[in-house]
Each structure stands twice: as C-alpha cells, then as structure tokens.
C-alpha cells in the first residue's frame, strides 16, 4: 500500500505520456505567471548590441532624369463647324462637321503623334542608360558597418493557446511539440518526443521567462525583502509548478539551490527551471 501511494505521488503508477502541446504550453504560461506582465514598466531594461549598415557619403551623384512631356496636343480644335453668330441659331449648321478642317486636323494630329513618339522613345532609351549607370535613379552611396546599442523593456506576456490561430507558425512551440499543420486530411498529431523538443524546453523563450522571478509575482515578496522566507518560497514554487508540496529530500535539495541572501532570486529561477524540465511536469500518467 505504501509503495502504491509513493508511485501515485511520483506519477509512475501507470504508463506516462507527454502532455499535448497546447496543454504543455498553457501549463508553462500559468506556472510561470506569463499571462500577465511580471515586471513594472521600465523595471527590466536590457541593452542589446547590433551591427547595422549606415550611409557614409555619396560615391556618384546627380539629379534624377527629367520626365518627358505629358501634355497631349489639342486635337479637337477646329473639328467642329464655326459657332453661330448673332442672336439666332442654325440647328443643321451646329451638328454638321467641316470635313476639310477635320482632315487637316487629323493630318496634323498624326504628324504630332509621330514626332512625340520619337521623342518619347529617345528619352526612354536615355533613361534606361542612366538607370544602368545609377541604380534606383538616385545617387550611389557608400556604406559602413557600426555597432549600436538598443534598449528594450524585456517584459513579455504570453497568451493562451485557446486564443491563438491554428495551426501555429512552423517554428512555434506548439508545432515543435506535435501540433499538426492541417494542410491535408491525412495530418495527425505527432506524439513521439524529439531532441528539438528537449532543446526548446531547456533553452526556449517560454521556459526561460517562466523561470525568472518577476517583481510582480507573489514569490518575489518572499525572497526580495530583508527577512526572507526561503522555505515558503520553495513550497510556493512546487505548488505553482507541480501542484504539490515538496518532501523532505526535495526541500533539502532546493535549499542548496536557492540558498539565502542576494542570490536567492537567481537560485529560485534555477529551481523553477529544473521543475519545469522535470518529467513530473512534462508527463502525465
């Protein structure tokens, strides 16, 4: 009876199976208090260095080529008969066309069109040559690489999988842990563990952020004050992640990791990381 009770507590009484990707992801979010911000604004500023390319002067300049004439010649002039004179009007004269003037205007229009097309073709050729010598119709620039520092408020918040679009992107946590692509009817969920999944649990963003102790978390008040309560902090960590209290051996081991004094917050982050990567958290009977 005692052995069966111990097996039940250690999650080995029955065959274990890994949690479904959505359940595992939401469990990490809830256990690590990632559904809300863990830090106050501006409290967790991180500085990153980045190598960027910037302009360092002009190699070859010049104005952009001018565009050709866009106005079209007035081909409608003199196509209609002369307007009526005086106070009266001539209905037939108004709707009649002067064919002699119309033929002359058509001939002038053809000549003007031929001339304009010739000028346009010539200008287009010149523009193409300039484009070959000067890409993007602008001055050619020379560049250099410099190191710049960027400050980011590293305070992420993770949403629930119930509000995510499915399927998730290929590199997302859910897809790595077996969510099908749903691109065909033959897709099935993959339940076999892989090395990529193990690496994502060890080094992934979700696990890393869940292990960190934010100033807005309840456990922070037990470790950041002068009178620390390490025992209660360890119990709270076990209850949040494994939903049970630690036994005597686990408490002794956890005290060695967390310790007392200033490194307590870092030690608690290490302990929470270890609990999140334990088989008891990742697998269910």
Same domain membership, residue 166 and residue 34: yes
Q: pLDDT tens across 112-154, in order?
A: 665 555 566 666 667 777 666 655 555 677 888 889 888 888 8
Same domain? For 103 and 193 the reply is no
**In terms of domains, do 92 and 217 share one?**
no
Output the pLDDT for position 73: 45
Distance of CA 1 to the CA centre of its chain: 53
- Of the residues 72, 107, 137, the one at which a domain ends: 137
Q: What is the mean pLDDT of the chain?
A: 76
Distance between CA atoms of residues 166 and 163, nearest Å: 9
Picking from 25, 48, 58, the residue whose alpha carbon sits closest to that of residue 204 is: 25
Residues paired with residue 51 on neighbouring β-strands, in sequence order: 147
Strand pairing report for 17-18 and 283-284: antiparallel
**How far apart, in Å, are the Cα atoms of 94 and each of 76, 77, 81, 89, 100?**
15, 15, 7, 8, 16
- Can you give the pLDDT at residue 68? 45
Q: In the chain, which stretches have pLDDT less than 70? A: 1, 4, 7-18, 60-104, 106-125, 130-139, 260-262, 284-285
Q: Are residues 119 and 255 in the same domain?
A: no
Q: Which residue has the tokens 């119309």?
A: 102
Does 211 lie in the same domain as 172?
yes
Using the 3D structure, point to which of 137, 167, 199 is the last residue of a domain: 137
Q: Check whether the bond before 167 is cis (ω within 30° of 0).
A: yes
Judge contact between 167 and 182, C-beta under 8 A.
yes
pTM, whole model, 2 decimals? Answer: 0.61
Q: How many domains does the chain have?
A: 2
Q: Give domain status of residue 148, yes or no.
A: no
Q: Rounded to whole angstroms, how far apart are CA atoms 277 and 108? A: 86
The per-residue pLDDT for 189 is 78
Are both 36 and 164 inside the same structural domain?
A: yes
- What is the sign of the dihedral through the CA atoms of 170, 173, 177 and 178? negative
Q: Which domain holds residue 124?
A: 63-137
């Amino acid at each position: 009876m005692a052995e069966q009770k111990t097996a039940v507590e250690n999650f080995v009484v029955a065959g274990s199976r890994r949690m479904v990707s959505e359940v595992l992801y939401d469990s990490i979010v809830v256990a690590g208090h990632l559904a809300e911000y863990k830090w106050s604004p501006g409290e967790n500023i991180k500085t990153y260095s980045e190598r960027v390319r910037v302009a360092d002067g002009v190699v070859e300049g010049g104005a952009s080529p001018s565009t050709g004439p866009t106005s079209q010649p007035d081909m409608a002039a003199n196509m209609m008969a002369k307007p009526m004179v005086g106070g009266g009007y001539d209905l037939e004269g108004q709707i009649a066309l002067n064919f002699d003037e119309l033929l002359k205007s058509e001939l002038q229009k053809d000549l003007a069109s031929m001339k304009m097309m010739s000028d346009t073709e010539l200008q287009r050729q010149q523009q193409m040559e300039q484009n070959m010598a000067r890409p993007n119709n602008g001055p050619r620039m020379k560049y250099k690489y410099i190191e710049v520092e960027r400050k980011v408020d590293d305070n992420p918040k993770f949403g629930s999988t119930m509000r995510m679009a499915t399927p998730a992107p290929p590199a997302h946590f859910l897809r790595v842990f077996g969510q099908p692509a749903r691109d065909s009817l033959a897709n099935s969920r993959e339940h076999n563990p892989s090395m990529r999944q193990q690496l994502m649990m060890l080094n992934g963003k979700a696990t890393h952020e869940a292990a960190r102790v934010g100033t807005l978390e309840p456990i922070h008040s037990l470790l950041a004050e002068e009178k620390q309560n390490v025992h209660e902090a360890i119990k709270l960590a076990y209850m949040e992640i494994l939903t049970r209290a630690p036994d005597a051996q686990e408490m002794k081991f956890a005290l060695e990791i967390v310790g007392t004094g200033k490194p307590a917050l870092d030690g608690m982050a290490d302990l929470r990381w270890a609990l999140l990567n334990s088989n008891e958290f990742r697998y269910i009977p």
